[in-house]
């Protein structure tokens, strides 16, 4: 009985080779397309335009937009479990003698009365887009915002206030996120800042 | 015959079962859980060591944390000297209350013994940003003028000093007590199935629709007067709880309610953040000059414009209304008065008014009485107490036939015109040479001696003794006039008419202002000024409309011929709802210009039509209106308490455990999930789950409205639904369970 040694698959037809190549290319294209869709979905934005306040920006899509009593613009990521990552803009009147630093100190004093364990981590100069000077206050506090009849463990929130003066008023741009995902979420804020015009 | 029996049986079933079914239907609409959750326990504490000064119950009456309660255990006083108010609530309705917030008094009327508190701080003293305060469960106020005798009510409150959960007790309305001022129901007398401890004071009493009809009230008596006081804490820190420590006063058992309508002005001004301030400095100090006293007790069968129709010494059998009148002096809003009644020497609690705060002025004529109650035959002794000490008493016989005795009734006052007609409104007369009182007389007999005594500010100024003439007849109207040599000077006048030396009728009127038509001109040139700087008031022009809004509004008016001490009333309304009303003694000069009152609200006055009324003896003497902004109040949908409550739990479908921090979004009925663009304006309500996955919508759902719901959470597939509709059959609260499937 003789032994037949198979040394390889017999050579493919050109059609088969083309098919293989096409399959690989298609898979690659689809993968890249998927990456693109994912990226677009994650970074999708919604335009915001406040003519009265002279503010335009692009904020993350599917974040809940509201204009509360204390802010002219606020968006929150309601799909985030725990503390809802928040970006907000507040406007305050200022005098000609008021500086960003004065406002930063004032803000720190007010927040200390309303936030539990409010702690300023740093106050430093910050440069906004278009070379607009600002002051940035980094802080943290403990948040518990459930109703009185619900049980909930407080979470630590990290925040950043960017204060700048423009047209006789102070613009306070705030970013807050749960401290353990703050760095991950910060890119959304940077993206927002890069589109903010006032 | 068989058919007749069947017919009768069916008829009997119909008349027995239908009322029961109707009653059951009414009862089913009460959301008891909501009532329990809206009931809070209030601790008035000393800020230095947080020791308890006083305790009581309260009720949340607005979604943003406005609490209706009594003034006696919240407003700082000798008995309750704490300066910090702590709000405790039952996190689980079957458990005692847990301190959660601090509150401040935003409106109070110590005489009515009502106060409105606002939650302003967390328990640790941190300020609460109003935007972050969750919408709290609250109850609506009923129109308490519609409460009927024998109506079934539910009384809610905390029965103990923080050791017990909210209690609900059923009861019924026994009678209505009348006092001067307001409408004809100053107090609701209640009969409860169980005794209601004093700590419930300040809580709520509810009708069958779950609306608050009244505030259970019991004032705090001093220890010497039999008041109860509990030692709860080692206040002085000496390691012992003994008499050296201050105790917590507890009111007597509760048997009366202060009607909810009395709280409406307070609630209106508190919800709009409105505050009223008189800027004109008082020229005189009106204060009690001695011990509080009651004197001159007599009875009347009815009351018209706060005056007795006539004076009676006995009442016929079948009497169902009886009023005790008396003169009072040196009273203050903190004075506690009480009425105890015996019938033939046996206490008759149905007619008692338990210790309550004084809601009248410093001196004048007062009455207390119940109507709509059957007064059984017997000798009724009415005994009045001041601060727990017997002050005066009087008796009357009820029973026997109706007597046709000579009487004077229904006094009216005015100025006689040339034709002999009585001109004027009856209770406020201008300064003039003569005042005339006209009485209805009945069953008079010739030769009967009668006397008219006129008094001015409590001092007798004229007396006429006469005998009845045959020419005047047995029945008719009789005028008597007062002609002081110097004419009528401003002040309060009174006339007492005696027959055979027995008082038969009495009445009083105020003389103020000058003659100008039907009502005297006392107040004039009432106008409104808008300015942010009071110093600019003299130069600022008045107006009646401010379309672009106003932060602060000033009202000013001139006055003439009004004597210090005369009670006058200032009343503010917005869109015809009274939000401020105060009757006080006039304390400025007798005449002058630019009496100034300031109306303000933080953040500016809400748009609306504001009216200022100036009154004396309930007679409107001057009024003016001003329109702010669009001229009417904005509609606040959150202010509606009716509807169905929605609760639920969001679970991980795989593990079955609750998921914390998930948003449950209830979209307004105008939008579907597809139309939802993540805008807050499209959201009806929003809830976040707690650590067990439980959530609770803080607004009630309206029956028949089609809502949409959305639950979207990172790591889970979203869940959405349109057309969630609540039907009338759904009982509150509705509970949902939503399992979420993990994504990938």
In CATH, what number is assigned to the domain containing residue A127? 3.40.1000.10
Selected for mutation to probe chain B from A78, A82, A157, A185 (highest B CB count within 10 Å) is A78
User: Per DSSP, what are the bridge partners of residue B667?
Assistant: B683, B708
H, E, C per residue of B328-368: EECCCCCCEEEEEEEECCEECHHHCEEEEECCCCCCEEEEE
Nearest to B131 among A46, A70, A116 (CB): A70
CB proximity list for B582: less than 8 A, separation 6 or greater: B569, B570, B571
Average pLDDT over residues B638-656: 79
Cross-chain Cβ contact B660/A81 below 8 Å: yes
For residue B78, give both structure tokens.
């000798």
Going by their DSSP bridges, the two strands B152-157 and B167-178 should be labelled as antiparallel
Average pLDDT over residues B279-287: 69
Is A17 among the domain residues?
no
Residues of chain B neighbouring A114 (CB-CB closer than 8 A): 126-129
Is A126 among the domain residues?
yes
Please tell me the predicted confidence (pLDDT) of residue A58: 92
| Confidence bin at A105 (pLDDT 50/70/90) | confident
Is B274 among the domain residues?
no
Whether pLDDT at B584 is above 50? yes
**φ, ψ of residue B352 in degrees (nearest 5):** -75, 145
Cross-chain Cβ contact A152/B691 below 8 Å: yes
Query: Are B503 and B529 found together in one domain?
Result: no
What SS3 state is found at B200?
helix
User: Per DSSP, what are the bridge partners of residue A55?
Assistant: A50
CB of A66 within 8 Å of a chain B CB? The answer is yes
Percent of chain A past pLDDT 90, that is, above it, reads 32
**φ, ψ of residue B650 in degrees (nearest 5):** -110, 125
**φ, ψ of residue B559 in degrees (nearest 5):** -145, 155
Q: How far apart are CA B74 and CA B53, in angstroms?
A: 9
For residue B305, give both structure tokens.
């414009």
CB of A146 within 8 Å of a chain B CB? The answer is yes
What pLDDT digit, counting tens, does each position of B652-689 carry? 988 989 898 888 999 988 888 888 989 888 888 888 88
What pLDDT digit, counting tens, does each position of B706-722 carry? 889 999 888 899 888 88
In CATH, what number is assigned to the domain containing residue B538? 2.60.40.10
Nearest to A147 among B122, B681, B696 (CB): B696
Query: Are B674 and B599 found together in one domain?
Result: no
Query: Are B346 and B452 found together in one domain?
Result: no
For residue B266, give both structure tokens.
């307070």
Is B561 among the domain residues?
yes
In CATH, what number is assigned to the domain containing residue B719? 2.60.40.1120
Residues of chain A neighbouring B130 (CB-CB closer than 8 A): 69
Query: Are B9 and B37 found together in one domain?
Result: no
Query: Are B729 and B665 found together in one domain?
Result: yes
Please tell me the predicted confidence (pLDDT) of residue B60: 95
Is B281 among the domain residues?
no
Residues of chain B neighbouring A61 (CB-CB closer than 8 A): 678
CB of A21 within 8 Å of a chain B CB? The answer is no
With 0-12 / 13-18 / 19 or more C-beta atoms within 10 angstroms meaning exposed / middle / buried, residue B497 is: buried
Nearest to B696 among A78, A80, A150 (CB): A150
| Confidence bin at B131 (pLDDT 50/70/90) | confident
Query: Are B260 and B368 found together in one domain?
Result: no
Domain termination residue (choose one: B398, B416, B451):
B398
Please tell me the predicted confidence (pLDDT) of residue B636: 62
Please tell me the predicted confidence (pLDDT) of residue B26: 44
| Confidence bin at B18 (pLDDT 50/70/90) | very low
What pLDDT digit, counting tens, does each position of B291-347 carry? 999 999 999 998 888 888 889 888 988 898 899 999 998 998 889 999 999 999 999
Query: Are B237 and B157 found together in one domain?
Result: yes
Whether pLDDT at B637 is above 60? no
Is A36 among the domain residues?
no
Residues of chain B neighbouring A45 (CB-CB closer than 8 A): none
Average pLDDT over residues B15-32: 52
Cross-chain Cβ contact B100/A151 below 8 Å: no
Cross-chain Cβ contact B127/A114 below 8 Å: yes
Query: Are B199 and B68 found together in one domain?
Result: yes
Range of the domain at A128: 45-195
Give the range among B49-58, B255-264, B363-372, B374-383 with minimum mean pLDDT.
Answer: B363-372
Cβ B222 vs Cβ B387: under 8 Å: yes
Cβ B289 vs Cβ B330: under 8 Å: yes
Is A50 among the domain residues?
yes
Is A155 among the domain residues?
yes
| Confidence bin at B101 (pLDDT 50/70/90) | very high
Is B621 among the domain residues?
yes
Residues of chain A neighbouring B665 (CB-CB closer than 8 A): 78
Whether pLDDT at B23 is above 50? no
Average pLDDT over residues B719-738: 81
Query: Are B500 and B608 found together in one domain?
Result: no
Query: Are B451 and B318 found together in one domain?
Result: no
Domain termination residue (choose one: B398, B427, B448):
B398
| Furthest-apart CA atoms within chain A: distance in Å | 105
The alpha carbon torsion through B64, B65, B70, B74 (nearest 10 deg) reads: -130
What pLDDT digit, counting tens, does each position of A48-67 carry? 988 887 888 999 988 999 87
> How close, in Å, is residue A187 to chain B by CA atoms?
17
Q: By CA distance, what is B98's nearest residue in A? A: A148
Average pLDDT over residues A123-149: 84
Mean pLDDT of all residues belonging to chain A? 85
**B51 or B20: whose pLDDT is higher?**
B51
- The count of structural domains within chain A is 1
Nearest to A69 among B131, B683, B714 (CB): B131
Residues of chain B neighbouring A59 (CB-CB closer than 8 A): none
Cross-chain Cβ contact A80/B714 below 8 Å: yes
What pLDDT digit, counting tens, does each position of B187-221 carry? 999 988 888 888 899 999 999 989 999 999 988 87
| Confidence bin at B17 (pLDDT 50/70/90) | very low
> How close, in Å, is residue A21 to chain B by CA atoms?
30
- The count of structural domains within chain B is 6
The residue among B209, B396, B389 whose CA lies nearest residue B321 is: B396
Is B93 among the domain residues?
yes
| Confidence bin at B229 (pLDDT 50/70/90) | confident
Mean pLDDT of all residues belonging to chain B? 86
Is B638 among the domain residues?
no
CB proximity list for A9: less than 8 A, separation 6 or greater: none
CB of A23 within 8 Å of a chain B CB? The answer is no
| Confidence bin at B642 (pLDDT 50/70/90) | low
| Confidence bin at B27 (pLDDT 50/70/90) | very low
- In a 13 Å sphere around the CA of B526, the CA atoms on its Cβ side amount to 17
Query: Are B322 and B372 found together in one domain?
Result: yes
Q: How far apart are CA B573 and CA B554, in angstroms?
A: 15
| Confidence bin at B556 (pLDDT 50/70/90) | very high
Whether pLDDT at B283 is above 80? no
Is A37 among the domain residues?
no
Residues of chain A neighbouring B679 (CB-CB closer than 8 A): 64-66
Is A67 among the domain residues?
yes
Residues of chain B neighbouring A65 (CB-CB closer than 8 A): 678-680
Whether pLDDT at B502 is above 80? yes
Please tell me the predicted confidence (pLDDT) of residue B130: 77
Selected for mutation to probe chain A from B60, B119, B663 (highest A CB count within 10 Å) is B663
CB proximity list for B150: less than 8 A, separation 6 or greater: B172, B173
CB proximity list for A68: less than 8 A, separation 6 or greater: A74, B131
Residues of chain A neighbouring B651 (CB-CB closer than 8 A): none
Domain termination residue (choose one: B345, B372, B398):
B398
Whether pLDDT at B624 is above 50? yes
Whether pLDDT at B385 is above 80? yes
Query: Are B457 and B606 found together in one domain?
Result: no
Selected for mutation to probe chain B from A69, A87, A147 (highest B CB count within 10 Å) is A147
Selected for mutation to probe chain A from B666, B678, B716 (highest A CB count within 10 Å) is B678
CB of A79 within 8 Å of a chain B CB? The answer is yes
CB of A115 within 8 Å of a chain B CB? The answer is yes
Please tell me the predicted confidence (pLDDT) of residue B82: 92
Range of the domain at B498: 407-511
């Amino acid at each position: 009985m003789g032994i037949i040694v198979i040394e390889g698959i017999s050579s493919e037809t050109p059609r088969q080779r083309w098919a293989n190549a096409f399959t690989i290319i298609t898979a690659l294209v689809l993968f890249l397309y998927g990456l693109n869709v994912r990226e677009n979905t994650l970074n999708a934005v919604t335009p915001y335009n406040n003519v009265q306040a002279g503010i335009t920006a692009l904020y993350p899509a599917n974040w809940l937009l509201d204009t509360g009593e204390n802010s002219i613009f606020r968006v929150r990521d309601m799909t985030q479990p725990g503390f809802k990552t928040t970006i907000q803009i507040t406007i305050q009147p200022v005098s000609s003698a008021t500086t960003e630093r004065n406002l930063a100190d004032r803000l720190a004093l007010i927040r200390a009365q309303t936030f539990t364990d409010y702690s300023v981590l740093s106050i430093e100069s910050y440069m906004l887009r278009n070379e607009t000077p600002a002051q940035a206050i980094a802080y943290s506090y403990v948040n518990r915002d459930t109703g009185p009849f619900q049980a909930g463990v407080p979470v630590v929130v990290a925040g950043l206030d960017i204060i700048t003066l423009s047209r006789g008023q102070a613009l306070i741009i705030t970013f807050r996120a749960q401290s353990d995902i703050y760095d991950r979420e910060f890119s959304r804020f940077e993206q927002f800042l890069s589109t903010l015009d006032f | 015959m068989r058919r007749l029996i069947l017919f009768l049986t069916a008829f009997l079933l119909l008349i027995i079962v239908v009322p029961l079914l109707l009653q059951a239907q009414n009862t089913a609409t009460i959301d008891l859980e909501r009532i329990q959750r809206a009931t809070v326990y209030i601790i008035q504490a000393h800020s230095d060591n947080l020791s308890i000064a006083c305790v009581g119950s309260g009720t949340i009456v607005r979604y943003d944390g406005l609490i209706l309660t009594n003034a006696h255990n919240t407003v700082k006083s000798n008995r309750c000297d704490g300066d910090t108010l702590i709000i405790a609530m039952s996190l689980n309705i079957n458990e005692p209350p847990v301190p959660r917030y601090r509150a401040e008094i935003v409106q109070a009327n110590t005489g009515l013994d009502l106060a409105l508190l606002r939650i302003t701080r967390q328990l640790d003293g941190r300020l609460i940003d109003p935007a972050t305060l969750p919408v709290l469960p609250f109850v609506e106020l009923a129109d308490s003028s519609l409460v009927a005798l024998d109506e079934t009510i539910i009384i809610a409150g905390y029965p103990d000093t923080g050791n017990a959960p909210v209690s609900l007790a059923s009861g019924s309305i026994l009678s209505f007590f009348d006092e001067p001022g307001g409408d004809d129901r100053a107090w609701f007398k209640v009969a409860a199935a169980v005794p209601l401890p004093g700590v419930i004071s300040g809580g709520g009493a509810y009708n069958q629709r779950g609306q608050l009809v009244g505030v259970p009230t019991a004032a705090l008596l001093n220890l010497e007067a039999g008041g109860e006081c509990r030692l709860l804490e080692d206040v002085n820190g000496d390691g012992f709880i003994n008499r050296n420590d201050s105790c917590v006063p507890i009111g007597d058992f509760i048997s009366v309610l202060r009607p909810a309508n009395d709280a409406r002005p307070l609630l209106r001004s508190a919800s709009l953040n409105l505050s009223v301030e008189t800027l004109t400095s008082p020229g005189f100090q009106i204060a009690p000059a001695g011990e509080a006293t009651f004197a001159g007790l007599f009875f009347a069968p009815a009351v018209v414009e706060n005056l007795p129709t006539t004076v009676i010494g006995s009442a016929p059998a079948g009497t169902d209304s009886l009023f005790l009148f008396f003169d009072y002096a040196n009273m203050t809003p903190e004075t506690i008065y009480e009425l105890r009644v015996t019938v033939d020497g046996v206490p008759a609690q149905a007619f008692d008014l338990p210790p309550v705060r004084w809601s009248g002025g410093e001196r004048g004529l007062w009455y207390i009485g119940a109507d709509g109650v059957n007064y059984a035959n017997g000798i009724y002794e009415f005994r009045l107490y001041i601060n727990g000490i017997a002050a005066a008493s009087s008796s009357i016989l009820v029973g026997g036939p109706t007597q046709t005795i000579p009487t004077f009734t229904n006094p009216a006052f005015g100025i006689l015109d040339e034709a002999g007609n009585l001109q004027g409104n009856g209770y406020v007369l201008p300064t003039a040479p003569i005042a005339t009182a006209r009485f209805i007389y009945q069953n008079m007999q010739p030769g009967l001696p009668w006397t008219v005594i006129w008094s001015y500010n409590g001092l007798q100024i004229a007396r006429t003794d006469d005998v009845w003439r045959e020419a005047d007849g047995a029945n008719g109207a009789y005028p008597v006039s007062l002609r002081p040599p110097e004419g009528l000077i401003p002040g309060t006048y009174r006339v007492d008419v005696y027959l055979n030396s027995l008082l038969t009728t009495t009445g009083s009127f105020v003389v103020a202002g000058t003659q100008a038509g039907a009502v005297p001109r006392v107040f004039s040139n009432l106008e409104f000024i808008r300015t942010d700087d009071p110093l600019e008031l003299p130069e600022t022009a008045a107006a009646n409309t401010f379309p672009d809004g106003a932060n602060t509004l000033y009202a000013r008016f001139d006055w003439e011929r009004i004597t210090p001490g005369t009670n006058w009333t200032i009343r503010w309304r917005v869109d015809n709802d009274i939000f401020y009303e105060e009757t006080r003694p006039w304390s400025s000069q007798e005449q002058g210009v630019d009496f100034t009152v300031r109306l303000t609200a933080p953040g500016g006055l809400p748009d609306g039509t504001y009216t200022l009324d100036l009154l004396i003896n309930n007679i409107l003497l001057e009024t003016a209106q001003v329109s702010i902004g669009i001229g009417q109040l904005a509609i606040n949908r959150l202010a509606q308490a009716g509807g169905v409550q929605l609760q639920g739990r969001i679970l991980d479908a795989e593990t079955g455990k609750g998921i914390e921090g998930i948003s449950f979004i209830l979209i307004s009925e105008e939008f579907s999930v597809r139309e939802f663009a993540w805008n807050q304006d499209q959201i009806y309500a929003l809830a976040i789950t707690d650590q067990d996955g439980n959530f609770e919508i803080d607004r009630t759902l309206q029956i028949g409205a089609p809502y949409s719901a959305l639950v979207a959470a990172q790591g889970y597939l979203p869940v959405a639904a349109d057309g969630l509709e609540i039907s009338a059959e759904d009982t509150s609260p509705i509970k949902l369970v939503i399992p979420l499937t993990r994504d990938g």
